[in-house]
Amino acid sequence: MPRKVDHNERRAAIANVVEKLVFERGIEALTIRDVAKELGYSTTIVSHYFSSKLEMLLFTHQTSRSRAEKTLREAIDEETDLLECLEVLLPISKERWRDWHTWFAFWGMAPEDPSVSDEWRTGTSEANMLFARLVQRAQAKGQISMDVDARAAATEIQIYINGIASLVAQDRKSWPADRQKDLLRHLLSARLLAAAPPACPVSG
């Protein structure tokens, strides 16, 4: 009796290979044929799940984004410290760096396509809501003043995380994990946290 095909499993496997190939070759070089070859599928099978390269990239971006959001939600639910919650998003591990590489590649696509701009907005909105939830929890613990607007603070945090990741993308060797964490701690302390800010880590 033939094995029943798990369609969600296949879509996830395709997304994983797309992320791998984008990381190795870049988004422009990606083809449905290459994805099929990597998986040992025919192009017909891949095309059954994704009608175009764009659709395949959208799903891959959504998968990567959902994975990071799940990691952050789990950290929040476990009552993890504010700084530690945010550190899980920094490109300090191999998996998270690959996520950021996928996001940066997708952000470089033409925004004129509604599906691309819609995914950008969704990703930004979901992240902002999670950060706002994290800020509100920190406010309840007395770590952040109640006078701070949670959604505005969430936007600041997005800028910090995205900014640090962009610096890492330009020069990974100069931005080891400790330096990323130190800069994030400095930014949070200088703007949001009650504690006095530590010295800013400006050197490599």
> What structural domains does the chain harbor?
7-191 (1.10.357.10)
Which of 6-10, 16-20, 21-25, 76-80 is the most confident on average?
16-20
Cα distance between residue 195 and residue 114, in whole Å: 43
Closest CA to 123 of 98, 142, 100, 146: 100
What does the block give as tokens for 33? 């044929």
pLDDT band at 28 (very low <50, low <70, confident <90, very high): confident
Asked whether residue 3 carries a pLDDT value surpassing 50, the answer given is yes
End-to-end CA distance of the chain: 60
- Bridge partners (DSSP) listed for residue 144: 193
The backbone region for 149, taken as left when phi is positive above 0, alpha when psi lies in -120 to 50, beta otherwise, is: beta
What's the average model confidence in pLDDT over 9-25?
92
Alpha carbon of residue 45 to chain centroid: 28
What's the average model confidence in pLDDT over 67-84?
89
Cα distance between residue 61 and residue 107, in whole Å: 10
